[in-house]
Each structure stands twice: as structure tokens, then as C-alpha cells.
A and B are shown apart, each in its own frame.
Chain A
Amino acid sequence: MRENKKTAGASRRKTGRRHPLATVALIAIGLGVTGGAYAAVNTSTASAETQIAAQSTIEEGEKLFQANCATCHGMGAAGTDSGPSLIGVGAAAVDFQVGTGRMPMQMNGPQAEEKPVQFTDEQVKALANYVASLGPGPSIPEDHLTNGGGDASNGAELFRINCAMCHNVAGAGGALTEGKFAPALDTVTGVHIYEAMVTGPQNMPVFNDLNISPEDKRDIITYLQYVQDNRSPGGFELGSLGPVAEGLFIWIFGLGAIVALTVWITAKSN
């Protein structure tokens, strides 16, 4: 076969004509080179554009920071007596604290509580970009880690070991010392749960990626979403608080019903 082709090619060269596919090949190479070069130039301009955009949001974030946060955290976010330094806390910490309304703090108390968010999404992002630009820290997690596409049973085991002692096994929250509490997790978005694990807001310990890997964090979020979506098979949860709520219910309503029945049985009929 090869021999045949070669001989055929040789005979054509003799005639002085090019291979009919040569033009096609030449055009393809030409197009490829120009296309590639254009693409290279194009991406470099695109990344330059995003960099400019990031730079502008950083500047916007700095203005927002100086107007809203610097009173406690200091002009350069280096911290004051009233608030900790934010250098190196990363974009994730800002997105969690500001995105859940915990910051800016309304008043001093045992802990900063969730309240209506004070900024638009773009402003939160700008603040996060500004703080992230001050020093390296955890960034906002990617969507595939927070959308609940993991293994709920693995997440449940990890949640029971690492989280349930404070947040309750059903994520209903619980009390800590001196007025502090671990909040309920039923209305918290996956992104904010992930960010809380990475950054350890307030008194929550940090669960870094070497303690709970990003995939394990995704599984924990999956478990929490499963608990939210599947109602308790046992019926009325009574706040999922376990023996406290259930005991109170049975003492008041169960014993109350027994007392009422006893009174009715022994009362004289009229």
C-alpha cells in the first residue's frame, strides 16, 4: 500500500502539480495559526479586563470598608481594641460575616447575631475582594462544593462527630456558655456553611481542609440539605431539641390530659 502511494506521489511530482490536499492543509495551518494567535491575544486582554475589574472592586470595597467597618477594625483593617485584625481572614470570612448580616455589628453582646443583610451582593463581593487583597486567606468556595451534590450518609457521620455537639444532630442549634449559642442551620445557605467551617466565625472552631476535606464539607452540606428537605418520619419535631422539648411537652400536655380526665371521671354528673 505504502509503496503504491509513494509511487503515485512520485508520478504526480513529475507532472509538476501539487497534491490536491496540499491547499487544504495550507489553509488549515494558516487558519490555525491566526486563530491561535488571536485567541492568545484575546485571553490576555480578557484577563487584563478582569484584573481591572477586580482592582476597581477592591477600591470600591476599600471605600465601603472605611465607611462601615473601619470604626472597629481600623483604617487598614489591622484591628483596634474593639475589633480584630482582618488581615489574612480571606474573602470567605467577609462573605460569611457580611453576607449573613452578622457584620456590621449592631451592638455589643455575647455574640454577633444574624440580621437582615446591610449590603447588596456586589458590595459584599467588593468588601470581600478588598479584605482578600490585604493578605492570603480562604476564598469563597466554588459552586460544586456547596450545591449539595455529595454523599449525605458520609456527611451525617462527619456532622455527628464534628458539629452535632453544638449545632444539634438535626442542625437545630444549641446553647453555649454565657449567652452564646450555636445557631440553627436550617435556613443557612450551603456557601455560608462552607465558609463558616473554613473560617471559624466567632467562637466556632476552624475546620480546615486537612481536618475536613472539601469533599467532606460538601457531604456535610448535602446532609444538612437532606435534613431540611425530608421531614421527620416521627411526626412533629418540637424544634428537634430532643428530650428537653419532648419531656416538657409530655409533662404539660400528657400529664395535663390525665389530670383533666381524672377530674372528669370523678366529677358528679349533673
Chain B
Amino acid sequence: MAQDDNDGKDLTVADSSVADHHDEAHPGTAVVSRDAFTDPGLVPHRKRVTDLDPKKEKHAERTVYTLFYLSIVGSIWAIAAYMLFPIESNNVGDVRLNTLFIGVGLTLALLAIGFGAVHWGKALMVDDEGVDIRHLTRGSDETRAAAVEIFDVANKESGFGRRTLIRNSLIGALIVFPLPAVVLFRGLAPQDENPVELLSHTMWKKGTRLALDPSGVAIKATDVTLGSAFHVIPEDLNDLEHGKLEEKAKAAVLLMRLRPEDLNELPERADWSYDGIVAYSKICTHVGCPVALYEQQTHHLLCPCHQSQFDVSNHCEVIFGPAKRPLPQLPIAVDSEGYLIAQSDFLEPVGPSFWERS
């Protein structure tokens, strides 16, 4: 209160008062250098053209009220556009016109008010410059004493400090209050199932046929010609009634056929492919985007999200980008009818790393 009692009364430029306040101000921890250059004072006030020229003032006034009238026009146009361009047919073109013209009206309505108000303030409202001197951060002793007094009185009148049973039960209630939220949000997580187990296993199991996405038609090995890329789901995925998308998100597979001599397979995975046909998880090991940009000549797989590249001919090892692990390979074989089947589930969790992943 002490330093800031101008009470809205703007001081006209007064160098002496500024100097006085400098003397009073507590330097605090600020380093005051000895050879600080002298305060040049305030820039002299320059009058606006609207103050000097009545014609310009009139002009500015006209501009401001024209803007406000424009805003009215914009609002009315938005109402009219809502009726003139209804979304009644099933044509998406209607949506475009409706949103476009309502949007134009509303934009005009709001922007014109804003521009008008700012222009009014800048060009027409009184243009006196004033100085409010910065006050001390610390309040005066009287203010501080008054604040303590307020707390004391409140404590006495409410009995907060005296009636400890009430106080403690209130604190207890406030602590317990967020618990329902914790329990409710826990309910969103998988129930009775270990999330680590869920993340570690997919629908693939021994003998599951590889099927086309989205039709679920099983794929024969002879269907997969050289250079082909098939987007694959487990054959029984479409029979699921619940959690189809969750299962698909883990079990999605990309099936490719390369020349067998182009494949450089790890010795322990020698029987995981069939005549140059290989199946890899489509879920990126970086953050789980679907990796399906397959180049049939270079045998590179590109993830569109962060440009990780995997080399299919070299057991999908990472050759570029932020992914840290190769894409998991699905071991495949051919059953007696010539259909491609899985030998087992993926032997490692698919997708990005998680805390408990070994």
C-alpha cells in the first residue's frame, strides 16, 4: 500500500519523483554496478494524429463504428448461412458449404469486435502517459500484522485449532475423497489378467492359418507369388466377438515372398520360412506404428512414423532410425492342404518395449 498509493492518478512525467523512489527502494540482492550509466528518463510524449487532426479523429471514429456494424452483419450472416446452406442431403459437399459460410460469418462477427475495440483504444481513448512506481515486494508491517490478525480471528471464530476432532476428520475426508477416482481408473486396466502376459502373447498358435486382412480368407503358399506382400490376420480373428481390434493390433503380420537366395536367415530360424515366404510382425518395435511400406526390390521395410528401416532379407534387423530391436518373426509352415500356418506364437513380445519386458 505504502509505495503504490497513486490510486489510479496518473503522474505526468516527473523525473524528480522517480529519483526519490530510487533512493527509497531497497536494493535487495541486486548487484548495483558503480559505473551504471545514468537513467535517460522517459521518452517525450508524442501526440497521435487523431489528437492533432480532427479530421483524422473523425475518420478513426468512423472506422471503429463501421467495424462494430460489420460484426453485426457477420452475426446475422452466420444465422442466415445456417438456414441458406443446410446439411439436409447426404452430400458431403453440403457440410463444406455449411461450415464455410457459418465460419466466415462468425469470424467476421468476433474479429470485427476485437479489431474495433483495439483500434478504439489505440486511436481514440485518452492518450495520457502515466508512471506507476514499482512497490516493494514485502508488505508494510501494518499489512502483515493485519493479515496475521485475520487468521487469528478466523481460527478463534471457527474453532479450527480448538475443535481438533472436527479438524482431523475434515483432513481425513479430504484425503479419502480422491480414492474413488483411483479405484475407478484402475478399473479401466485389464481385470484378472496380467498385463505383461497380455502384451507378451498374441492370437497366433500352432496350426493357425494365415488369412487375408480383412476378409479372413486363408492363404495358400502357392498364392504368394514372388514380390508379393500380403496383409495377414489369424484366420480365427473374425470369429472373435469381443476385443477384435485389440487382438488384431498385436497379431497383424506382413507376409512377403523373396527369392530364397536373397534371404539371409539365422541358423536357428532356418525352418521358420517356406520357400522364400517370410512373415514378420507389422508392429514397429519403436512405438508400435504399423510397418508395412515394403519395397520389393530392396527388401526394405519402412515405418512411416519415425522412418525406422528394417531389412527383410536380413531377418528384419534395424538398418536406420530409432527402433532398437528387429521385427519379431512368425515361424510359418504349410499344412497338408497347402495353406500357410503358424508354427507357434511369436517367440518374443511384439511391438514396443515395456517395463517388464525381459
- Across the interface, do B48 and A211 meet the contact criterion of CB distance under 8 Å? no
In the complex, whether B44 has a CB less than 8 A from a CB of chain A is no
Residue B96 contacts which of A180, A210, A233 (CB distance < 8 angstroms)?
A233
- Across the interface, do B223 and A211 meet the contact criterion of CB distance under 8 Å? yes
For A232, the chain B residues whose CB sits under 8 A away are 96
In the complex, whether A161 has a CB less than 8 A from a CB of chain B is yes
What's the Cα separation between A210 and B339 when bound, in Å?
13
- Across the interface, do A231 and B223 meet the contact criterion of CB distance under 8 Å? no
In the complex, whether B212 has a CB less than 8 A from a CB of chain A is yes
In the complex, whether A204 has a CB less than 8 A from a CB of chain B is yes
Main secondary structure of the interface of A (DSSP, over half): loop
Residue A177 contacts which of B100, B230, B298 (CB distance < 8 angstroms)?
B298
- Across the interface, do A270 and B296 meet the contact criterion of CB distance under 8 Å? no
If A165-B293, A269-B123 touch, whether A207 touches B96 (CB-CB below 8 Å) is no
- Within the complex, the shortest CB–CB distance from B93 to chain A, in Å, comes to 7
- Across the interface, do A234 and B228 meet the contact criterion of CB distance under 8 Å? no
Which residues of chain A from 110 to 161 have any CB-CB distance to chain B below 8 Å in the complex?
157-158, 161
- Across the interface, do B228 and A205 meet the contact criterion of CB distance under 8 Å? yes
What's the Cα separation between A230 and B225 when bound, in Å?
35
For B122, the chain A residues whose CB sits under 8 A away are 265, 268-269
Residue interface bits B198-213, CB-to-A below 8 A is 1, else 0: 0000000000000011
- Within the complex, the shortest CB–CB distance from A196 to chain B, in Å, comes to 12
- Across the interface, do A203 and B228 meet the contact criterion of CB distance under 8 Å? no
Residue interface bits A247-270, CB-to-B below 8 A is 1, else 0: 000000000000000001100111
- Across the interface, do A166 and B48 meet the contact criterion of CB distance under 8 Å? no
For A210, the chain B residues whose CB sits under 8 A away are 219-220, 223
Residue interface bits B104-147, CB-to-A below 8 A is 1, else 0: 00000000000000100011000100000000000000000000
Residue A207 contacts which of B46, B220, B228, B304 (CB distance < 8 angstroms)?
B228
What's the Cα separation between A209 and B88 when bound, in Å?
41
What's the Cα separation between A161 and B292 when bound, in Å?
9
Which A residue's beta carbon lies closest to that of B309?
A177
Which A residue's beta carbon lies closest to that of B227?
A206
- Most chain A CB neighbours (cut-off 10 Å) among B99, B223, B304, B309: B304
In the complex, whether A51 has a CB less than 8 A from a CB of chain B is no
- Across the interface, do A208 and B225 meet the contact criterion of CB distance under 8 Å? yes
Q: Could you list which residues of chain A lie within 8 angstroms of chain B, going by C-beta atoms?
A: 157-158, 161-162, 165-166, 174, 176-178, 180, 182, 200, 202-208, 210-211, 230-235, 264-265, 268-270
Q: Could you list which residues of chain B lie within 8 angstroms of chain A, going by C-beta atoms?
A: 46, 48-50, 92-93, 95-96, 99-100, 118, 122-123, 127, 212-214, 219-220, 223-231, 256, 290, 292-298, 300, 302, 304, 309, 320
A and B contact pairs by CB, cutoff 8 A, 20 listed: A165-B293, A176-B295, A177-B309, A182-B293, A200-B228, A200-B296, A203-B295, A204-B296, A205-B256, A206-B227, A206-B228, A211-B224, A211-B228, A230-B93, A233-B95, A234-B96, A235-B100, A268-B122, A269-B122, A270-B49
